[in-house]
């Protein structure tokens, strides 16, 4: 959103309009599930707002939707299960669960659908980043407690897990989020190299 810096002359922008627009956008994104089928006109109508009021704040549809999605920030689960594995499973389970549902599909679409690459970055920052950060914490704690193998690159681990969740949830189809998460975490924990015959 284009936030005017500091106090400016003229009537200030309406907070109520902000809220109405963002929540109308989310409503419609959830209903239609497809970014292309959510029109600015529909958002304006549902928010009870003129189109100009939207264009005064955002340059286009995508930017608006990104901001709308960013307001979601679903709460992360409470961690501290005692073990690194437990926490990893818990987080990944939520990521898997979030893959279902229309709104989430729309968000995924926003993640990659961009001409202007900065948009993907913004939503990544707003939505993905908190999850990555939580995973990162867990890994760091695992390193402290000795549960994480020294030498494992946390960044790589993180991406393997989240990317794995992203794809596995789609390709392997059914199954509970829990089972999916456990399979991925355990596979990664154990590694896939055959143990050297000692």
36: DSSP letter:
G
Q: Check binding of 172 to a copy of itself (CB under 8 A).
A: yes
Q: Which does 82 bind (CB under 5 to 8 A by kind): DNA, a copy of itself, none?
A: none
Residue from 14, 113, 137, 145 binding DNA (CB under 7 A): 14
Beta carbon of residue 66, minimum distance to DNA (angstroms, whole number): 13
Q: Which does 112 bind (CB under 5 to 8 A by kind): DNA, a copy of itself, none?
A: a copy of itself
Q: Taking each helix axis as running N to C, give the angle between helix 15-32 and helix 40-47, from 0 to 180 degrees, rounded to the nearest 10.
A: 130
Kindly tell me the sign of the dihedral angle through the C-alpha atoms of 89, 90, 93, 95: negative
Place of tokens 């239609």: 32
Residue number with CB closer to a copy of itself (124 or 178): 124
Residue pair 123/107 in contact (Cβ under 8 Å)? The answer is yes
Residue from 1, 27, 33, 40 binding DNA (CB under 7 A): 40
Q: Check binding of 114 to a copy of itself (CB under 8 A).
A: yes
Q: For residue 165, give both structure tokens.
A: 């969740």
Residue pair 102/173 in contact (Cβ under 8 Å)? The answer is no
Q: Where on the chain is the footprint of DNA (CB under 7 A)?
A: 4, 7-14, 17, 20, 39-42, 48-53, 55-57, 60-61
């Amino acid at each position: 959103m284009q936030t005017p810096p500091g106090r400016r002359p003229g009537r200030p922008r309406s907070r109520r309009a902000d809220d109405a627009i963002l929540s109308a956008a989310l409503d419609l994104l959830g209903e239609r599930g497809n970014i292309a089928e959510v029109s600015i006109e529909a958002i304006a109508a549902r928010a009870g707002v003129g189109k100009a009021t939207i264009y005064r704040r955002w340059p286009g549809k995508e930017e608006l939707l990104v901001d709308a999605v960013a307001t979601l920030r679903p709460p992360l689960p409470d961690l501290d299960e005692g073990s690194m594995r437990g926490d990893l499973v818990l987080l990944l389970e939520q990521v898997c669960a979030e893959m279902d549902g229309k709104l989430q599909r729309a968000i995924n679409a926003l993640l990659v659908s961009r001409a202007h690459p900065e948009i993907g970055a913004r939503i990544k920052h707003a939505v993905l980043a908190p999850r990555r950060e939580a995973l990162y914490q867990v890994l760091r704690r695992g390193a402290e407690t000795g549960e994480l193998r020294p030498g494992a690159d946390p960044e790589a681990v993180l991406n393997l897990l989240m990317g794995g969740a992203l794809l596995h949830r789609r390709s392997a189809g059914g199954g509970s989020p829990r089972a999916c998460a456990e399979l991925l975490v355990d596979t990664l924990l154990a590694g896939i190299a055959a143990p050297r015959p000692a």
